[in-house]
Structure 1
Amino acid sequence: MLLLLLLISCLTSLLAALVVFGGGMLLIAILPLFLPAAAIVPVHGLTQLASNSSRVLFSLQDVLWSLIPGFLAGSVLGVAAAGWLWTQLPVQLLPLFIGLYILLSLWHSGFKKLLSRYENFIWIGFLQSGLSLFVGATGPLSTSLLLKQQADQNKVIVTAALMMSISHLLKVLVFGWIGFSYLDYQWPLFALIVGAVAGSYLGAKIRPPEPNPRYIYWIKLGLSALALQMMIAAVL
């Protein structure tokens, strides 16, 4: 089981390192086969922290550092407000709203023009980090905005990884504070983290170095497919 977890973690981390999306969502869809329900989100969070932070360390030169302070500030506020969101919003429908946001922001010109007046990484950090406490994989929120502002695929991938690292770190700290024992899952976590770091390393080595507009277009299509999947799952 541990070897299988290591392999799954490596492949999903490699996918995220190559195409920026999908790895975290694929992993959280597989973990219920191996873990009890209460452990899925915190274990996934720590694994994704290892995956994303190692991706950043292997490609520090590609981080868009100017975007990070605003995202960090929004993330702290988002996590602080997560408890309030839990009591005020229909949690089971949150993926529906996230998916709709992603689709409109990627493909609807009128919606993008409206968002441009208000959309910023403080707000994205608030949503991504806050909602990650109960949605799980919210990385497409920051990725969709990065794709609209940056054509270099490497900068998108690595900057998105740093933003997701911030979200997952805050999530891990919150679950530890409320009493989740990560030591109870030390060996599955060890296998998952080793696989995640290995996948990030392989992705950094084989990722194409040059920007490719067609590549970005396929990333947008993939994000749209994931958004639709989240929306359908929320409705059903």
Structure 2
Amino acid sequence: MTELFLGILTFLTSTIAAIVGVGGGMMLIAILPSFLPINALIPVHGLTQMTSNLSRAVFGYKDVQYEVIPKFLLGSFLGIGIFASILSFISLEYVPLFIGIYILLSLWSEKFNERIKRYESYFLAGFFQTGLSIIVGATGPLTMTLLLKDYKNKDEVVATSAALMSLSHILKVFVFMYFGFVFFDYIGIIIAMVIGAIAGSWVGTKLRNIIDGKKFTIILKVLLTALAIKVIVGVFI
């Protein structure tokens, strides 16, 4: 039953991400603490999001702006190395708290987002997006702002963001494998979520230019806010 629910949930969040470019991963990471132990939260989410973003990039491969990838990838390697080295010093008990606070700040704090915008290079975006992803899970908004500035075509922004995020998640999955996380222990859940992720990417890609993105984003922000508050409260109760 859990597998079916998480498969459907991943389908919905992957569809959302394929339509507006961001939000699906944040929504998923906010709900997963209710279904997975803390030590499995970021690794399983990472593998699922790797599939979601990679399939979204494949479905929109003609729109991916490949010239930004080398600098982003270089920054990602450096970021994942540095942040992975401090991962063992972070208490997993408070990971959901970091996730909830990060979601709220990225949604509602202009000052927080302005500080992020200062790192407007694909090298630094890769460094922080990939590095921070092993702690808070979903960091898509870090590059979305930069892409929106450089590209006006919605399909180009969404497809390129998906390509960059898939690189972040691929590196993250390798890090957790290095630290000894056994993905096979959650194989049933992972298979269900991977199927949901790919199906959601396909449906969302088809719906992207049909649904009003602005109204959809407002609803998404409200849902994410409620989920983030639930996650934060859950740490203390």
TM-score (norm 1): 0.81
Give 1:187's aligned amino acid.
G
How far apart are 1:142 and its partner, in Å?
0.7
**Which structure 1 residue ranges, 5 or more long, are not aligned?**
none
Give the letter for the 1:76 counterpart.
F
Root-mean-square deviation (CA, aligned residues, Å) is 3.4
Q: Aligned pair in 2 of structure 1 residues 131, 158: CA closer, same or farther (>3 Å)? A: same
Amino acid at match of 2:44: V
Q: CA deviation at 1:33?
A: 2.0
Partner of 2:149: 148
Is 1:34 the counterpart of 2:35 in the alignment? yes
Percent of aligned pairs sharing the same letter: 41
Q: Which amino acid aligns with 2:209?
A: P
Aligned to 1:83: 84
Structure 1 residue 3, shift from structure 2 partner: 1.6
Aligned length: 227
Residue 193 of structure 1: aligned partner: 194
Deviations 1:16-68 (A, max 9, x none): 00011110011111112221111111000000000000001111001011111
CA distance in 1, matches of 2:179, 2:133: 16
The CA deviation at 1:163 is 0.7
For the residue of structure 2 that corresponds to 1:203, the secondary structure is helix
Choose which of 103, 110, 113 in structure 1 pairs with 2:110.
103
Are the structure 2 counterparts of residues 145 and 227 from structure 1 closer, same or farther at C-alpha, using a change threshold of 3 Å?
farther
Q: Deviations over 1:172-192 (max 9, x none)?
A: 000001100001111100000
Equivalences for residues 40-189 of structure 1 within 5 A: 40-86=41-87, 99=105, 103-104=110-111, 115=118, 119-189=120-190
Distance 1:226 1:68, change over 3 A: farther
Whole-angstrom CA distance in 2 between matches of 1:63 and 1:20: 13
CA contact (8 A) 2:130 2:168 kept: yes
For the residues of structure 2 that align with 1:3 and 1:230, how far apart are their CA atoms? 23
Give 2:147's aligned amino acid.
Answer: L
Distance 1:186 1:56, change over 3 A: same
Quick one: distance in 2 between partners of 1:142 and 1:126? Answer: 11
- The equivalent of 2:7 in structure 1 is 6
Q: Which moved more, 1:22-31 or 1:78-87?
A: 78-87
Deviation of 1:105 (Å): 7.7
Task: Tell me if structure 1 keeps the 8 A contact 2:19–2:213.
Answer: no
How far 1:83 moved relative to its partner?
3.5
Q: How far does the alpha carbon of each residue in 1:132-151 deviate from its partner, in whole angstroms, 9 at most, with x for none?
A: 11111111101121112222
CA distance in 1, matches of 2:189, 2:88: 32
In the other structure, the counterpart of 1:18 is 19
Indicate conservation of the 8 Å contact 2:106/2:141, yes or no: no
8 Å CA contact 2:102–2:136 kept in 1: the answer is no
Unmatched segments (≥5 aa) in structure 2: none
C-alpha offsets along residues 98-136 of structure 1, whole Å, 9 cap, x if unaligned? Answer: 836973486x6xx79x93xx6201001000000111111
Cα distance, 1:165 vs. partner?
0.3
Q: Is the 8 A contact 1:21 1:219 kept in 2?
A: no
Whether the 8 Å contact between 2:10 and 2:196 is mirrored in structure 1 is yes
